[in-house]
């Protein structure tokens, strides 16, 4: 195969994911690893497994020590529990065959020790994370001058059925903080008229984000017509409500993106598209779940204080960067291994 990067994907994907890089995506891991010719066909030099099931074909190949093998993101909740002493040797074989292991936490590492995994194999703790590189944003941008100094929050990727939810929360917030500004983007720009109708009913003043030319405090809500502007909006707002999370609606957006931009994150109860990410962000105080307009307004009022919003943003950024060291370690291990193979 010409491609140097081969990816199989997990069972939770309904459709085949799209790669933004030069990766060969071959199919679900269960389908591929049940094919005995998989390793003959692709002949990988390095095998990196993220936490999940370990098919027999995979573990049997790793046991042959033909490849550099790394088991990463080992989560405590998915590791086998050591209940019967008779199974100890079996578990030792399953995990000890990997050359290197990276665990979610000290608890996961402790579980592996109890299952007789060699201590020297565990090279790091913390989940691997991914984030985007912040896009350039000039302070000379007209929008920056318009909104500079105003306290604000953003509601992004909002579904038509969430518009009323968001606007009622904002109207409630304005009673305590009249300068508070909401920036909103819709998951379907065609629902702009629905947004305008709701704003009119609730007596909220709305302006198009891209069309605003002069500064002023009369506008209470700015609407962005371009989804591509979401990154810019995250840079303006320290608090972001992620849309399509009240229930199963349209496609959700990755919460790690606003987290990488130091935003605190509010969301609804439906986090099925990114359950691990939301769970991690909530666990460190970088995200909060709300289920009603009143709850959203209460949290926004609390976060009106700049230091509280900043604390959420710092927690989000810390969570994003927590796996950077492990990612760097894995990259270094792989490159050193491949370099030694070439020299050998």
Domain of 194, CATH number, reads 3.40.50.2000
Same-domain pairing of 274 and 334: no
Same-domain pairing of 171 and 203: yes
Residue 115 lies in a domain: yes
Same-domain pairing of 301 and 153: yes
So what's the pLDDT on residue 156? 92
Residue 30 lies in a domain: no
So what's the pLDDT on residue 246? 92
Same-domain pairing of 160 and 297: yes
Same-domain pairing of 176 and 100: no
Same-domain pairing of 94 and 204: no
Residue 176 lies in a domain: yes
3-state secondary structure of 184: strand
Same-domain pairing of 119 and 157: no
Residue 39 lies in a domain: no
Residue 35 lies in a domain: no
Same-domain pairing of 203 and 271: yes
So what's the pLDDT on residue 150? 79
Report which DSSP code applies to 285. T
Domain that holds residue 71: 45-128+323-343
So what's the pLDDT on residue 86? 42
Residue 18 lies in a domain: no
Positive or negative torsion for Cα 83, 84, 85, 90: negative
Same-domain pairing of 152 and 257: yes
Element holding 98 (H helix, E strand): none
Same-domain pairing of 114 and 171: no
Residue among 242, 244, 285, 279 nearest 153 (CA): 242
Q: How far apart are CA 223 and CA 292, in angstroms?
A: 22
So what's the pLDDT on residue 99? 92
Q: How far apart are CA 234 and CA 91, in angstroms?
A: 45
CB neighbour list of residue 184: distance below 8 Å, 6 or more residues apart: 154, 155, 156, 158, 166, 195, 221, 222, 223, 224
Residue 121 lies in a domain: yes
Same-domain pairing of 316 and 238: yes
Q: What is the mean pLDDT of each run of 10 residues along the chain (344 residues)?
A: 52 51 55 66 80 75 83 78 44 75 85 82 77 51 66 92 96 90 90 94 86 66 78 85 88 88 94 88 94 95 87 88 81 88 70
Chain CA centroid to CA 175, Å = 33
Total number of domains constituting the chain: 2
Q: How far apart are CA 285 and CA 281, in angstroms?
A: 6
| E strand intervals along 5-96 | 6-9, 24-28, 46-50, 68-74
Same-domain pairing of 312 and 331: no
CB neighbour list of residue 177: distance below 8 Å, 6 or more residues apart: 151, 301, 304
Residue 186 lies in a domain: yes
Element holding 264 (H helix, E strand): strand 264-267
């Amino acid at each position: 195969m010409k491609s140097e990067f081969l990816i199989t994907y997990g069972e939770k994907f309904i459709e085949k994911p799209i790669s933004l890089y030069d990766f060969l995506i071959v199919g679900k891991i269960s389908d591929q690893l049940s094919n005995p010719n998989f390793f003959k066909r692709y002949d990988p030099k390095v095998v990196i497994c993220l936490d999940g099931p370990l098919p027999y074909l995979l573990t049997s190949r790793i046991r042959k020590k033909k490849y550099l093998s790394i088991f990463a993101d080992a989560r405590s909740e998915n590791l086998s529990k050591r209940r019967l002493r008779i199974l100890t040797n079996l578990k030792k074989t399953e995990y000890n065959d990997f050359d290197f292991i990276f665990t979610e936490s000290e608890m996961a590492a402790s579980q592996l020790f109890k299952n007789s995994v060699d201590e020297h194999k565990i090279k790091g703790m913390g989940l691997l994370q991914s984030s985007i590189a912040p896009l350039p944003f000039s302070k000379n941008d007209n929008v920056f001058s318009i909104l500079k100094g105003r306290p604000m929050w953003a509601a992004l990727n909002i579904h038509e059925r969430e518009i009323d939810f968001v606007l009622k929360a904002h109207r409630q917030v304005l009673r305590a903080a009249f300068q508070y500004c909401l920036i909103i983007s819709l998951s379907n720009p065609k629902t702009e008229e629905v947004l305008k109708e709701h704003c009119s009913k609730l007596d909220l003043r709305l302006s198009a984000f891209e069309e605003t030319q002069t500064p002023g405090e009369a506008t209470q809500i700015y609407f962005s017509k371009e989804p591509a502007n979401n990154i810019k909006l995250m840079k303006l707002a320290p608090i972001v409500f992620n849309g399509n999370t009240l229930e199963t609606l349209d496609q959700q957006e990755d919460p790690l993106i606003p987290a990488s931009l130091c935003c605190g994150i509010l969301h609804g109860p439906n986090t099925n598209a990114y359950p691990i990410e939301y769970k991690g962000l909530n666990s460190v105080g970088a995200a909060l779940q709300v289920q009603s307009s009143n709850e959203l307004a209460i949290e926004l009022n609390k976060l009106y204080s700049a230091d509280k919003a900043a604390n959420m943003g710092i927690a989000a950024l810390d969570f994003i960067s927590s796996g950077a060291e492990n990612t760097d370690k894995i990259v270094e291990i792989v490159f050193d291994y491949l370099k030694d193979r070439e020299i050998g």
